[in-house]
Each structure stands twice: as C-alpha cells, then as structure tokens.
Amino acid sequence: METHDPEQMALAVASNGMGAADCAAPGNACHHCHHRLYQEHCYQQQQCPVHERQEHQNYHRRQHWQLRQALHWIKNLQFVCHVISLLLVVNLPAFCHGQQQKFRVTPHDLQVLEGAEAMLRCEVANLAGAVQWTKDGFALGFSAVIPGFPRYSVLGDRKQGAYNLRISNASTSDDAEYQCQVGPARLNSAIRANAKLTVISPPSSIEIKGYENNAKVEVRENQDLSLKCVVSNAKPAAQIVWYRGNVEYKPENRNDKVEETTPKRFTTTSSLKLKPSADDDYTEYTCQAKHKALAPDMPMRATVQLSVLYPPGPPYIEGYTQGETLRRGQAVELVCRSRGGNPAAQLIWYKNGLQTKMAYKTIGRMSENVYKFTAESSDNKARFRCEAINVMSPAPLKAEVDLTVLFAPTHVSISGNNEARVGDVVPLTCTTAPSNPPAEIKWMVGGRQIRNATSRTMVSPEGGWITISNITAVVEPNKRSLVVICHGLNMQLTENVVSTHTVNVLYPPSPPMISGYMEGQIIPAGSVQKLLCVSSGGNPLATLTWYKNDKRINSVIRTADKSVSAEITILANVTDNQAQYRCEAANSATEIPLFESTTLSVHFAPETVKIRIEPEELKPGIEATIVCDSSSSNPPAKLSWWKDGISIQGINNTSKPGLWGGTVSTLEFKVNITQEMNGVVYTCQSANEALQRSVHEAVSLDVLYRPKFVPPPSSTAVGVEGESLLVALQANANPMSITYTWTKDGQSLPSNGNGAEPRIFAEGSKLNFTKLYRNDAGVYVCEARNSQGAARINVTVVVEYGTTIKAVSENVIVNPGEDAMLSCSVEGKPLTEDHVKWERLGYDMTIKTSTTFANGTSYLHIKDAQREDVGNFRCIADNRVANPTSRDVLLIVKFAPEIDKSPTLMRAASGTGERGRLPCRAQSSPRPQFIWRQEGKDLPVNRSYKYEVEEKKIDSLTYESILIIEKVAPADYGAYECVAKNDLGQDIEPVRLDITSQPDTPLSLNILNVTHDSVTVAWTPGFDGGLKASYRVRYREANREQYKYIDGLPNSHKLTINGLRMNTLYLFSVMAYNDLGESKYLPDLQKAHTKEAPPPSQPASSLGGPPTTSATPLGGTSGLLLLVGVASGITIVALNILVIGCCLHKRNQKRLKRGLYKCPG
C-alpha cells in the first residue's frame, strides 16, 4: 500500500479543494467526493459554469477552516490507514475465494486418571468466528484464562486456529460433556464438536473388614468364618478377586455388591463363608482389587492368615524304658513330645503327682519338654507323668513311666554311751541309711570282729530299705577308751560305708591348787593381780572353773598331757577388797567338784565426793551450811575445803563404815550469803594418803537476786533519721530468765514476736528502730523482771536529721542606698550557726554583708544596697547528716529598665500578609511600662486590629513585651522603637522587622568536651531569619581538606561527634539554614585535639573505627540517596506526562472518529 506524508496530503487537499476524508478514503470511494474531483477539474480548466465556480469557492473556504482544525490529528491518520488496509488484506482473500471455517483437529472422548492433566484438542482451519468451550452446556468464555475455573486454561495459537482446553489436576468434578464452539463470522456458519471427558480414580483403600493387613485370624476347627473384602471410592467400580494361597479362589457361596457411596465414587464388597479344618491352619486368604487405574505391577491387596485351633496329638516319652535300672548319681534325661495342635500343646512333667517342670518349647506345631535330673534314692519307684493340653483339649493327654534306682547307703550311725567305768556293759546300735537292695552290717569292737550280732531290715519312706544291728560291749580295765566300728555293705553295688564310736573310761582328777597370791598381802586398787589354778590326773582331764563370791568368771585354760590349768587376771578395784576367789575341778568321774579358795585385801581411794548445800535455795542475808560427803575409802580418806586455791577451815569431821570394807567421811562449813557470792566456787578434796590419790568436787553458789542493769557507756542513744538504730542494754540477775519491757511515755512498745514486724520493736534487752523518724526522739524506759524482782533504766534517744529550709524571705525590695536583710529559716538536728551559710557566685561577701543567727533562722545583712547587689543570694544549710539543701533569696534594689540587646531580640522577620512578632525584653524594678513607636510616633496598640501587644513576666526582674503586627504589608517593614520605663528612668532600643530570609551565621562556636574518639561542641545562634532554623556542623582533620558534615538535633545548640581518630587535631565550624536558605560557615577557628588513649574501661575494638554521630551526615551515603531521589522524581514526572499524552491522544481519536470520517454533503 502506498503511503503519504500527512502534512503534504493536507496541503494538496487544501489546494485542490478536497476534504481530508476524501483523500483518506481508499480509492476515493465516496460518491460525493468523486463528484467534487470532477468539479475541481472543471474549475481548473475554466470549463465550469459561473455559479458552479462560486459554489466551489465557498466550499473551498469551508474546507480550509476544517483543515486548520484537523492539523493536530492528521499525523495519526496514516496509522488508521495502515490498520484498515491490513484488515482488508487479511479478510478479502477469504471472502473472495469463499473458504469456510472447519475443524482441522476434532475433539474426541478422553479418559484420564484423577490428578493427571487432561488436554481436549480443538484446531480450526480458516478460522473466522470466535471460539469458546462449554461444559455440560455451560459456556466457559472466550478468554484463555477461564474465570471461576482456575484449573482450566485454553492453550494454542490463534493464527493456527488451535484452541486446546487444558484441565490441570483433574478430578471427578471435571467428568462432563465438553463442546468446542466456533461462532459465525463473515458468511461462515457456526461449527461445534463434542468430546466426553471421563476421569477415573483408583480405589482409595482395600481391607478385609475387621482385620488389619496380614493379620492372623483365629478360628476353631469346623467353626463358621466370614471374610468381607471392601474396596472403597473407585471410579468406575472396582472388581474383587479372591486367592487361597497363590491360587485364585472361586467359591460358590461368594456374595458381591457395589454401592455409590459418594457422587461418582463406588465401593465394592465381596463376602466369603468358610468352615476351616485343621488342614487350613496357616492358610492365607487374599482379596485383590482389579481396576484400570491401578498399575499392573503394583496390585492393591489385603491378606489374612488363618490360625485354626484344634487339639494336639497324644504325648510320648523318650529317654527311659520301663524296667530299666538306674544307679544313684546317674544323669537322667526324659523327653516328652506332642505333635500337632493349635496352639501348640503345653507339656507339663509330674513326679508322683506333683508338678516338677512347666518349661517347654515349640517348633512349628510340635511341643517338647525335656526333664533333666540326677537319679536319687527318692526316684526309686517314682512315677513320672507328662501331660499335653491346649485350649481345644477336652481333657489332658498323658504318658508316664516308673523308675527303678539302685543305691547304697550314704552312711551308717552308731548310738550308745560315750563314757563308762571299768566293768560296765555298754549296749550299742548301728543303723544304715536307705539302700536298694538292703545293706549288710558288720561290727569291729576293740579291733575284733563280732559275729553274733543280730540284724533286721525295714522299708524306708524315702525309698529302699534300712538295716539295724544291736550288740553289747564290756569295759576292760587299764584302758582309757574302747573303739567300736560299724560297716554297711551293699553287696550288689559293692559299696561300703563306715562309722566309728569311742567309749571313754572314766578316772577322777587330783584336788586343785591356787598360786600367785598369799592371804594378807595388800593389793593397791588399779594394779593387776594374776591367780593360777592347777589340777593333775583324771580321765578325762578335769574341767577348772573360777568363781568370785560365788559368781563364775572367765579364765584362760591350758591343757598338758596329764594336767590342766586355769589362770585369771584381775585389775584390782574396790569390789575385790575382802572378795573370795574359788577354783573348782570336776570331770565325769566326780560327783562333787574339788575346790580351793583365797580372800584378797585391796587398798582403794574414794571414787566420788558429793557436796550438798543447806538450804537448797540461797538468797542474800541467810546463813548456809555446805557439806562434803566422801565415798568409801580404805584406809579412811582425809577431807579439806578450798576456795580460789586457799584452804578453808571445816567443822564436824565424821566417819562411818562404808562399802567394800571401807570408811565414809564427812566435813562441813558455814557461810553468810550475799548477792556478790553468786557464782563463787568452793572445792572439796578427799585424799587417800596411803595410795597418794585424791578426788575433788566443786560447787558454784547459786544465789537468787533481782535484775541489775550493767551501766551503759552513755544514757543517750544517737541515730540518724531514715536509718536504723539499735539500743542494746545488759542486765544481770539470777535466775537469768528475765522479761524485758520497753515503754515510752507510759506506752508499751511491741516485740518482734507479734506477727508482722513493726518499725519499732523490742527484742529482749534490745530496742530496734528499723527506720528512725524525728518524732521517735524521747526517753525510753526498759524494765527487767525475774522471779526475784524488777529493775528499771532510762535511755534518751536523740534523732539527728538533715537540715531543711522551711522558709526564706520573698523577693526583698529596697531602694538604692538602703540596708537589706534576707532571712533563711532552717530546721535540722543538730543545728548551729556554723550549719548555715550564704554565698553568691562572683560576689564578694566580705565587703558589704554580715550574718546573724537566732532561733534556727540565719539573717544576711547587706549594707548600702545598690544596682550591682541585685540578684539571688543562696542560703545553704548543711549539718553533715544528710545532703545539703539550699534556696535562693532574691534581693531587688529598685533600678531603671535595661533592655536586653541580644542580636536575636533586636530583629524579627515575617512574610508579607503574615503576622509579625517583634520581641522586647527588659530587666527592671519595679515593673516597667512598654511603649512601641514607629518613626517617633507611639503605635495604637490594642486599639486597632493592626497592632497588639503581649506582655509576660519572665522572672522576678525580667519582663517581655511582644508587638504583634497583623497582615504585614511592605510599609510595615523597617525599624521600630521599644521604650521601657518606670519611676527610676527608661531605656530605648530599636527593633527591626524584616521580610523572612535565610538565617544569620551563628555568633560563636565553643568546644565543650574532648575524649579519645569524640568532641562535643556548642554554638550561640544568630538571627533565624524569621523561620525555624536548623544547624549543620562541619569538621575536618587539620592535615586534610575534605570536610564531613553533621546536622544538629532539633531544638538543640549542642552536638557530640563520635568515631573520631585518637590523637588527631580537628577543625570545626557551624552554619544555620532554614527554608529560605543558609548562612555562611563560621571560620575554622575552633580546634580540638582528641586524646591519645581511651579510658581503661573502653574496649579496644572501638578504636579507629568510622565516625559515628548523633545526627545524619550529609556526605557519603546521603549524597547517593539524594541522586537516587532526584532520578526517581524525574522518572515519575516523565511517566505522568506520558499518561496525560495518551489520554489526550485517545480523546482526539474519539473526536476524529465522530466528525472527520464523514464526507461533506
């Protein structure tokens, strides 16, 4: 298609008198336009009539105006031409040739597995109409993404006519009739094609009802059993196949059923009825689901195994044959077995009806119980029985054997006398232990065999037989003993046992003899004395026994060939004095023991001394008798009294017989009792001079008296308010069970045993103040009381507390030249004149001031008060008990007003039309009157809407007036005068109102603090330009030119810069800025040198790091952020311009479509 430049085409049309629509129309198809071309041709050839030429000129003028209106859209006309031409190129061939749309690929029925992806294909050749899919008649729409069906989408290529419907994660809800519909268009009729989608779903589970997979099913033999297989939630319904073992099982009584449990899902059940026999034990029954959605190599099965219960077979015994003989000690192994049975048989061994072993083992369906033992005599003729039983046995099945065991006697025993005299006839009996067969007995007496012995046998209850034989033996003289031997023989087993019996021949011993002590010999108590008793001869040897006063005592026995001795060792004590020691000798031949005795003489000292006091209760003013009683002593003891190592003369020394043959002695003395004698110790000594031994006893007098306080170091206890105080006293008394009572002003104070602990409580002789208050001061009385009486003592408690200033004179005002007096009333304990002082910084207190003190009030006198004396004098009270307190007292000497000339108060700024505020601050006494002037004239403040004044009191001497100018006009800018006056004079200062501007440079910058890595700076702000000003500090290292910048915090004129290098010189300056601009920086005159090292507590890891500050720096990252912000802003503006242009373009297109596509006429 040929294209033309829109502007050239417009000019051509204008020159030819042709409308834009005429040119734009393909082939000048419009009839009216074609007619106009003809007229134009005639007009150019001067061949048209005059009226036609006139009409043509009018038409040309109209067209020329329309073209001017259309110039702004004419450039877009080319695009419209292109689109129209393209549509014609695409559609004209089909229309001309007459090809109809048809299915190139027709949808066909599809079957998919649930969860898989389904693809219904639909491809159209010569596509003309719109294509959409329907589901069971419901239209899914023309969009590739189908609303309401997130799993549905249309895939393909419109150019190729492909519209394939894809269904992801197919479910049974997708099971439906689908139709691909192609709508009519441009002489093409609509076409449709159906396809059915079937979604199949495998069974969700298979089970044999009531049993887990591979479970064992217990059933009794010949009992009915029903197995029900359930295959759930399949689509379509699944089939069930039964297997018995590995062979398909097709019984006649099988019952199958199919149910639709949920929409489009089916559950299949199959039931079997069985009557198992013993042969069905261990048989497996399996049900398997058959379904086309199941993989052949992964069948779905459920299996159970039958466990058929039936009785076991009869037991049988191996390991012993009936009639076989065993020997005692032989190992025996009896094995009982039973085959078959479910459960396997329980085998139990019994011996003579008593259960012996229950432990058995099973191998498959065979049970075995092995009974191992060693044959004993008790096993002879014993019956061993094995029983087999299980739950299916009506009665136990039995097998049994009787054992035969041969054994010899284990021993023989001889009974009869062990002792006899010469000529006595001694009867003896020999008895064998059980034996099978019976044993024979043979005797040997004194080395000779006895042949006329009689024997008999009897059955043993333990099995076998017992043999008994009796003989008599005569004791011959000249022999000390007679030896008898009995033999027991089992002739069949050729085994022999022997027993020996000895008969002793009795002879009496000789009388005993005692050696080691001669009667009358003195033995000191505590010494060791040995006594020896000896007896010779006798058969058997004599038995020796020692007695002390007829009480048997132990001894050491020594035996020789023909004698025996018994020795005792005595540690002599008081009980041995006059004690009789006796030794007795006896044996079987003596009817009365033989004996010998001796009596000992022992000297002993008294063991104890006892002291008694009469009367028992001692009180001051009575006479007491103290008696000393000494225990028994041999010879008699000598008594004496002692006090503090000094002997005291005693009275009434008496003696009387005592224990163990000794003497008891007594000595006493008398004493008058006083209170001071309480605790005095008296000692009694009892001495045995023969032994040079003595014993002592002491007594401490217990004198009862009422309490008596130990005088305290001071009768006054001093404490500090708010702190604790403990008042501790001490009282002596007897008894020491003292009850203490504390009172104040007649009121008792609580004790700490009364539950919750009070602030003041008594704890015995102690008074505890957990926290002192000043009203706790006073006299406290402590009373101590015991059973003998009471005593009292007074303690004065003084509470010290810090000084507080109760009142000061308020704003003392005097005239110049008068004397002034300031007062300061103080409360505290202690409080003296030295505890209150006056001071004032920068003021010499020694020239014009003096102080006086009276009744807790300090007075400061100022002579000849003048203007320079005006100010606060500080009263400081400090008695060193608590922290000092202070209050300022203002002295005001009347003076004329003085206006504050600070730069920030000499200027003000405001924008045009805004409210202007001019401040004027002055100090004065009395209060000044403010007057505002402009150009020498008083302003009508508070009398018109234009000017208002706000006045306020800053402090006792400082007052401020603010002139408010409403709606500032250009004529309001300039200088104003503030006049402050009182009775003593006046002060005038100009205040200038300017238009708002950038702030002035700060007046000064100071270094406040320097550390190893930080510097704190502060500045004095200048005029803020009438707007809120912010501040920026710049700094650099002295040897570098690069600055770093930090913004100050809002409403602050101080900043700390952290992260600096150690031992480095830095230069600092500051500037101010507001919304209208910024000031210049101060010169880099302020310097600070960081310290060489951090403080000891500073971690080393923080040294030399990058600078960190309390404000955001302007360099570094913030510069990058600024660039990013600017770029983002430009991008947003460009996007807005683009969107606005698109909107205008669309609006123009709509307007062109409405008017310019119509041909004239």
Select from 2.60.40.10, 1.20.1260.10, 2.102.10.10, 3.30.70.60 the CATH code of 513-603. 2.60.40.10
Q: Which of 651, 576, 573 is nearest to 606 (CA)?
A: 573
Question: Worst-scoring range by mean pLDDT, 278-292, 637-651, 1108-1122, 1139-1153?
Answer: 1108-1122
In whole angstroms, what is the distance from residue 1071 CA to residue 1045 CA? 11
What homologous superfamily does CATH list for 705-799?
Immunoglobulins (2.60.40.10)
Tell which wins on pLDDT, 465 or 752: 465
Q: What pLDDT does 945 receive?
A: 87
Q: What pLDDT does 1138 receive?
A: 62
Percent of the chain predicted with pLDDT > 70? 86
| DSSP annotation string for 722-744 | TS-EEEE--EEEES---EEEEEE
Give the pLDDT band of residue 172 (cuts 50, 70, 90).
confident
> Please, how many CA atoms are within 13 Å of residue 248, restricted to the half-sphere of its CB?
5
- The string of pLDDT tens digits covering residues 1111-1159 is 333 333 334 334 445 455 566 655 666 656 555 555 555 443 443 333 3
Here the tokens at position 57 are 């000129």
Same CATH topology for 316-402 and 412-505: the answer is yes
Tell which wins on pLDDT, 29 or 634: 634
**In 3-state terms, what secondary structure has residue 770?**
coil
Q: What pLDDT does 1135 receive?
A: 63
Class of residue 384 by CB neighbours under 10 A (exposed 0-12, middle 13-18, buried 19+) = buried
Tell which wins on pLDDT, 423 or 895: 895
Mean pLDDT of 586-590: 87
Class of residue 178 by CB neighbours under 10 A (exposed 0-12, middle 13-18, buried 19+) = buried
Residues 6+ apart with CB under 8 A from 901: 989
Q: Which of 534, 535, 532, 533 is nearest to 510 (CA)?
A: 535
In whole angstroms, what is the distance from residue 1008 CA to residue 1057 CA? 12
Residue spans of the domains in the chain: they are 6-95, 105-200, 205-309, 316-402, 412-505, 513-603, 609-700, 705-799, 809-893, 895-994, 1004-1115
Compute the mean pLDDT over every residue in the chain, rounded to the nearest whole number.
84
Which helix (H) or strand (E) segment holds residue 98: the answer is: none
- The string of pLDDT tens digits covering residues 327-365 is 888 999 999 999 988 888 999 999 999 999 888 898 888
Give the pLDDT band of residue 491 (cuts 50, 70, 90).
confident
Select from 3.90.1170.40, 2.60.120.10, 1.10.606.20, 2.60.40.10 the CATH code of 105-200. 2.60.40.10
Tell which wins on pLDDT, 64 or 655: 655
Contact indicator for 445, 482 with CB cutoff of 8 Å: yes
- Which CATH code for domain 809-893? 2.60.40.10
Tell how far CA 310 is from the center of its chain.
Answer: 61
In whole angstroms, what is the distance from residue 263 CA to residue 193 CA? 27
Contact indicator for 1069, 1084 with CB cutoff of 8 Å: yes
- The string of pLDDT tens digits covering residues 499-524 is 999 988 888 899 999 999 998 898 99
Q: What pLDDT does 74 receive?
A: 44
In whole angstroms, what is the distance from residue 663 CA to residue 633 CA? 5
- Which CATH code for domain 895-994? 2.60.40.10
Q: Is the pLDDT of residue 985 over 50?
A: yes
Percent of the chain predicted with pLDDT > 90? 58
Q: What pLDDT does 779 receive?
A: 95
Contact indicator for 691, 605 with CB cutoff of 8 Å: yes
Contact indicator for 525, 662 with CB cutoff of 8 Å: no
Q: Is the pLDDT of residue 1056 over 90?
A: yes
Contact indicator for 1057, 1045 with CB cutoff of 8 Å: no
- The string of pLDDT tens digits covering residues 390-436 is 988 889 999 999 998 899 998 999 999 888 888 888 999 999 999 98
Phi/psi at 506 (5° precision):
-90, 140
* Amino acid in position 107: P
Phi/psi at 55 (5° precision):
-60, -40
**In 3-state terms, what secondary structure has residue 1092?**
coil
Mean pLDDT of 618-632: 91
Q: What pLDDT does 170 receive?
A: 92
Mean pLDDT of 103-110: 94
CA-CA distances (angstroms) from residue 636 to 603, 661, 664, 665, 696? 10, 10, 7, 7, 16
What is the pairing mode between strands 152-155 and 164-167? Answer: antiparallel
Mean pLDDT of 118-138: 92
Q: Which of 665, 619, 671 is nearest to 643 (CA)?
A: 671
- Which CATH code for domain 412-505? 2.60.40.10
The residue written with tokens 């006198």 in the block is 861
Q: What pLDDT does 965 receive?
A: 93
Which residues partner with 122 through β-bridges?
none
Write a three-state SS string for 663-685: EEEEEEEEEECCHHHCCCEEEEE
In whole angstroms, what is the distance from residue 653 CA to residue 355 CA? 91
Q: What pLDDT does 482 receive?
A: 87
Which residues partner with 266 through β-bridges?
234, 260
- Which CATH code for domain 1004-1115? 2.60.40.10
Q: Is the pLDDT of residue 873 over 50?
A: yes
The end-to-end CA distance of the chain, in Å, is 28
- Which CATH code for domain 316-402? 2.60.40.10
- The string of pLDDT tens digits covering residues 1004-1039 is 999 999 999 999 999 999 998 989 999 999 999 999
Q: What pLDDT does 358 receive?
A: 84
Class of residue 927 by CB neighbours under 10 A (exposed 0-12, middle 13-18, buried 19+) = middle
Going by CATH, does the domain composed of 205-309 fall within 3.40.50.450? no
Q: What pLDDT does 690 receive?
A: 85
Q: Is the pLDDT of residue 174 over 50?
A: yes
Give the pLDDT band of residue 1110 (cuts 50, 70, 90).
very low
Which helix (H) or strand (E) segment holds residue 91: the answer is: helix 77-97
Q: Is the pLDDT of residue 756 over 90?
A: no
What's the CA dihedral at 581, 587, 592, 594 to 10 degrees?
Answer: -40
Q: Which fold has domain 609-700?
A: Immunoglobulin-like (2.60.40)
Instruction: Give Rg (Cα) of the chain.
Output: 70
- The string of pLDDT tens digits covering residues 58-104 is 544 555 445 444 444 444 444 433 434 444 444 444 444 457 899 99
Q: Is the pLDDT of residue 269 over 70?
A: yes
Contact indicator for 1028, 1074 with CB cutoff of 8 Å: yes
In whole angstroms, what is the distance from residue 976 CA to residue 919 CA? 11
Predicted structure pTM score: 0.39
CB atoms within 10 A of CB 1074: 19
Q: Which of 246, 228, 230, 227 is nearest to 238 (CA)?
A: 230
Q: What pLDDT does 81 receive?
A: 36
**In 3-state terms, what secondary structure has residue 187?**
coil
Mean pLDDT of 991-1000: 93
